[in-house]
Structure 1
Amino acid sequence: MKKIFLFTVLLLTVSISWSQRSQTIAYIDMEYILENVPEYLEAQNTLDEKVVKWRQNLDKEARFIEVLKTDLANEKAILTKDLIEEKEEEISLKQDELRRLESLYFGPKGDMFLLRKQLVKPIQDQVYNAIQSISARKKYDFVFDKSSELVMLYSNKKYDISDLVLGTIDRTRLVDEKNAQRNAPRELTDKQKQAVVKRETAVAKNISDREVKKKAANENRQALLKKRNEKRDLLRKKKEALKKKKEKQKKEQENQDNNN
Structure 2
Amino acid sequence: MKKILFLFALILLSWGAAEAQKIALVDMEYILKKDPSYEVMNRQLEDLSKKWQSEVTTLENKAQAAYKSYQGEVAFLSAEQKTAREEAIVSIEKQAYELKRKYFGPEGELFKKREALMKPIQDRVWAAMKELARAQGYQLIIDRTSSKIVYADPALDVSETLVAKLGLAR
The structure 1 residue matched to 2:155, chosen from 155, 158, 163, is 158
| Whole-angstrom distance in 2 between the partners of 1:129 and 1:105 | 31
| Whole-angstrom distance in 2 between the partners of 1:46 and 1:110 | 16
| Whole-angstrom distance in 2 between the partners of 1:138 and 1:38 | 27
Q: Which ranges of 4 or more aligned residues in structure 1 deviate by more than 6 Å?
A: none
Could you give the per-residue CA deviations for residues 75-118 of structure 1, whole angstroms, max 9, x where no partner exists? Answer: 10111100000000101111111121112211233210221122
What code does the residue aligned with 2:160 have?
Answer: D
The structure 2 residue matched to 1:168, chosen from 162, 165, 170, is 165
The residue aligned with 2:86 is 88
More helix, by proportion: 1
The residue correspondences of 1:100-139 to structure 2 (distance < 5 A) are: 100-139=98-137
Gaps of 5+ in 2: 1-12
State the shift of 1:154 in Å.
1.2
- Structure with greater Cα Rg: 1
| Whole-angstrom distance in 2 between the partners of 1:116 and 1:88 | 37
Could you give the per-residue CA deviations for residues 232-255 of structure 1, whole angstroms, max 9, x where no partner exists? Answer: xxxxxxxxxxxxxxxxxxxxxxxx
| Whole-angstrom distance in 2 between the partners of 1:141 and 1:133 | 12
Structure 1 residue 39 and structure 2 residue 47: aligned? Answer: no
Aligned length: 155
| Whole-angstrom distance in 2 between the partners of 1:98 and 1:106 | 12
| Whole-angstrom distance in 2 between the partners of 1:30 and 1:153 | 17
Q: What is the DSSP-based 3-state SS (H/G/I as helix, E as strand, rest coil) of the residue aligned with 2:149?
A: coil
| Whole-angstrom distance in 2 between the partners of 1:104 and 1:61 | 14
Gaps of 5+ in 1: 1-15, 172-260
- TM-score of the aligned structures, taking structure 2 as reference length: 0.86
The residue correspondences of 1:8-87 to structure 2 (distance < 5 A) are: 17-20=14-17, 22-87=20-85
State the shift of 1:18 in Å.
3.4
State the shift of 1:28 in Å.
0.4
Question: Identity over the aligned pairs, expressed in percent?
Answer: 28
CA RMSD in angstroms, aligned pairs only: 1.5
